[in-house]
């Protein structure tokens, strides 16, 4: 049994994490009970979790996090890439280029930086796993949310490219 905290995509990420943990432990996954408690994540069996406040726009911070994980744990068992901003909601002709660039920086480049920095730690794990959460927006062009749809396609291709690069390893 897992108790998870979160809303929206955060909740989806940890739901997926629960499924993966059950699969790795060889136990059936029957679902999760979602609770909200100050944005901390708890496992019902008494495990612990650490909240790491980090702006994914801080690419050097992602690198520092990878170094800290390497020092403390020497590996990373699961990476869930779920970076995303909605960005501007307007007709494409009115999108501010700076807002668009910021959205692309988070939705695309932050996921690349996660792969760059966490890949060695995933490869060091007995069965490292990387999961990237996408959106149907990558395949559905809709008026006024074009920037978001545009920004969700590259991370999907990024993940689909990264996957075969990990096949010769224990990492998936």
Q: Give me the active site residues, please.
A: 148
CA atoms of 50 and 120, how far apart (whole Å):
21
CA 81 to centroid of chain Cα atoms: 2
CA distances from 19 to 64, 141, 163 (A): 28, 30, 19
11 C-beta neighbours (distance < 10 Å), count: 15
């Amino acid at each position: 049994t897992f108790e998870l905290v979160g809303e929206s995509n955060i909740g989806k990420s940890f739901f997926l994490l629960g499924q993966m943990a059950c699969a790795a432990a060889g136990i059936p996954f029957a679902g999760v009970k979602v609770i909200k408690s100050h944005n901390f994540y708890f496992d019902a069996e008494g495990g612990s979790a650490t909240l790491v406040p980090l702006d994914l726009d801080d690419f050097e911070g992602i690198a520092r996090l990878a170094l800290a994980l390497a020092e403390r744990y020497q590996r990373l068992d699961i990476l869930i890439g779920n970076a995303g901003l909605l960005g501007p909601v307007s007709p494409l002709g009115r999108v501010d280029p700076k807002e668009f660039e910021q959205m692309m920086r988070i939705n695309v480049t932050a996921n690349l930086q996660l792969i760059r920095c966490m890949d060695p730690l995933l490869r060091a794990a007995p069965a490292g796993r990387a999961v990237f959460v996408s959106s149907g927006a990558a395949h559905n062009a809709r008026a006024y949310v074009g920037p978001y749809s545009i920004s969700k396609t590259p991370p999907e291709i990024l993940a689909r490219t990264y996957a075969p690069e990990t096949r010769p390893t224990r990492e998936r």
